[in-house]
Structure 1
């Protein structure tokens, strides 16, 4: 069987899908790295909503996908940007997502960390921002999950300098009962976060970030860096206090960062591990046995797909992630919260299908092919 796929130049190319999927061996929990997948949410396709309405979520399918990730051995990073926080999923929806995922995690013994932000407000004083963070931190604490302190659009808009970040984060870390993960999300993921930590100069911002950590090392489990700059991540992780982990959020350079070097390595908290879960888990188990070469042989070929999904404008990578979940049979439809299934072009989606199929990511290649042909037919592409 073949499929006709549209190219960016407007022509069609014939592609022969892979006949057999990648098959991951069953394995135990990871021992060499802590690995989270930031998980997407599944929209309710039957809900009568507009792009401006509160998110309508298919809870059964959303939680089933989290069980899929846990079954691979991955932790779930919940209510992060992959779940469309600030891009269709509001705080009320995120709070429900956190509570439901936490209950599911307890039922199956899955590891869960949840995003804490300030997206219930759009601005305000530092006092307002602190209160918004505290409200969300309380929800996560009550759920029993680990907290990930996310970057705040409101803080980026209100802060007048580094001291405001130090005040807010210092207060939150002092009151947190358990160590948290600090998340530095770059403006390529969210333009509203330009100048975070009080400076648009990344070297200056890095120093402020490290000062916050150094002042509260016992309250920081780790940091998640999403700047898509491998050299900067490596330099930063080498300066972390003893016991503070670096979780890579670099969806362009993750194999080399997780593999590490003679001076250390990064753990992982990645959106790309949503579609890559079985393959990524198999790769990490190679690291568990000291087989760095086997790890790289499995994971290096996935970078082309990741770079494609996360190409600029990077914040729309979720569209490709959800497309692949549909093609893989994890959900029955290709619709997204806020209508973001329309955020990428048909040639972009076609290339995502081709790259994912080449990696063997679809458990049923025939189903993926049929569904891709259905999408192409909707756009008027003949087969």
Structure 2
């Protein structure tokens, strides 16, 4: 096979010539003043020889790179994005969730696990947790998931000695094999936290091994979500490649004034990741709430609440709303000026919280209103017709069947 190896070497050298030519030209331009005439002549001749020897093909460009070009039919028939959690966790992906300690990362992840396991019978979840003890696991939603889905939810974290990250890598290799054998399933791996499960080099994340098995798992249909902590100063201080190599990432924060956990998209790549917010009570998720409404400071949240309450009684113009806010002592209590309140009125109108319009026949006053709910329809009109209308029957509330 010497001839084959020799031919491969020659082709490889020829493929590299364009880069050498570019490098030589740049060198000649940058350091020309330091070179002798003979040196410049020799380099110029070598550039010319390299250009004459470059690897060429008789086929036109379109033919040579045909395998890299998309066709209209391929784009037209491209499959829609599949989601583990709609608009948040794509299938066959690698994601990163970043947040402070105690902000609710585990709470939201276990809530998502419940949603996935309840709605998708083909998903198997491995939650790898490097620092949660048994007592905390028992107090969390994880214990209920282990009870409800013993065949599809696995909580990994028992320390048996040795390097935990090495054990995790061995487990990931096995999960990849399982995903390959069971193409009808989707294996979803959650790693908490990244610093405990990824191999290190001199105390830092080994970027050469970062996402090694996770990329293979993604290529065969599985998904991975990493949970990562901010440092003591609230900053992301680790390798930027953690974010760069992932398909998407989002930060997680807590708004104590309205008891919500918020997920803020950071990197969405090719996925349409959306912001999400969840109402909590006693450190548990109660329900999903509107992200735009709660992703604000307390005084703006109170402003929206006051205006909605006022508009429930009917439409109001801008001056009437400002007067209402004054009566509620909103401006003095929350240190908000009337100009800012006026801007908020139109801003939240544009977001769909209420409707507004300028009316020329009302001296260009701006009016605000909300769509009133339609009264429920009476389902059985015949019963209404059969109702007796005598005073005695009305007092008794009697209706003929």
TM-score (norm. length: structure 1): 0.32
- Decide which structure has the larger Cα Rg and report it: 2
> Between Structure 1 and Structure 2, which shows a larger proportion of strand residues?
2
TM-score, length basis structure 2: 0.30
